[in-house]
Amino acid sequence: MRGKTAEPYQRLREFFDWATRRSFWDLNIKSTKVTDYISFLLTNFARTENLYRIRDQRGKRLETVVEMLLEAYEVARADSGLMREREIRRHVGDYILFMTGMFREYTNRLSITSYYLQEGARAYWSVSEIDQVLYHPEADFFSELSTRFEFYAGGLNYLRSLFFKDSGNDPFEGFSNQLRELV
């Protein structure tokens, strides 16, 4: 990133680093690897286009968890490569962690929280299994994210309650507006 874009991004990253460490410390989560990962996830997903960056094999943007999971299944079935499957499954885990952590009221209102928590943990577990096959050192980390998925989502929800105001009917717009105020 260069110029005007880099400075707000850096300020946002610094804010999320601080907010994640502070709120997770309150919950006795002291792993810098976890807090760094979640801080990066928050910074990355502050840009809406990153929430929906996964595309199918025809280039169509995938906007739902079900679409992303079906694409991961198709990639695995067609033996299109473990790295592509890993990318999709990691994104599913990240997306669900973000949504159930930062927008819990929204997922509750749609009655998808339980499903999301299950699929988020499963997505990270799949990433850890792929990493084991590929001898990636991150296998244990994604296994940890999977095992404690609901706890980390709760940590994000706690972070939201500390640093972001309730935004009424549209939680996404309220969140975006509050991020703009930060940068």
Q: Length of the chain in residues, anyone?
A: 183
Q: Confirm if 165 and 159 have CB atoms less than 8 A apart.
A: no
pLDDT digits (tens, 9 = 90+) for 70-114: 999 999 888 778 999 999 999 999 999 999 999 999 999 999 999
Helices (H), the chain: 3-26, 32-45, 48-51, 65-77, 82-102, 104-109, 113-133, 139-147, 149-163, 171-182
Indicate the Cα dihedral angle 13, 84, 106, 109, nearest 10°.
-160
Longest dimension (CA), the chain: 46
* Angle (CA) 49 54 55, round 5°: 110
- Is 155's pLDDT higher than 80? yes
How far apart CA 9 and CA 182 sit, in angstroms, is 10
CA end-to-end distance (rounded Å), the chain: 15
pLDDT for 162 beyond 80: yes
pTM, whole model, 2 decimals? 0.89
The DSSP result for 65-85, as a single string, is HHHHHHHHHHHHHTT--HHHH
Q: Give the model confidence (pLDDT) of 61-81 as tens digits.
A: 999 999 999 999 999 888 778
Residue 96 contacts residue 102 (beta carbons within 8 Å): no
Nearest to 75, CA basis, from 136, 126, 131:
126
What's the token pair of residue 59? Answer: 């280039």
Q: What is the pLDDT of residues 20-62, one digit of tens each?
A: 999 999 999 999 999 999 999 999 998 888 999 999 989 999 9
Report the SS3 class of residue 61: strand
Residues 182 and 42 sit within 8 Å (Cβ to Cβ)? no
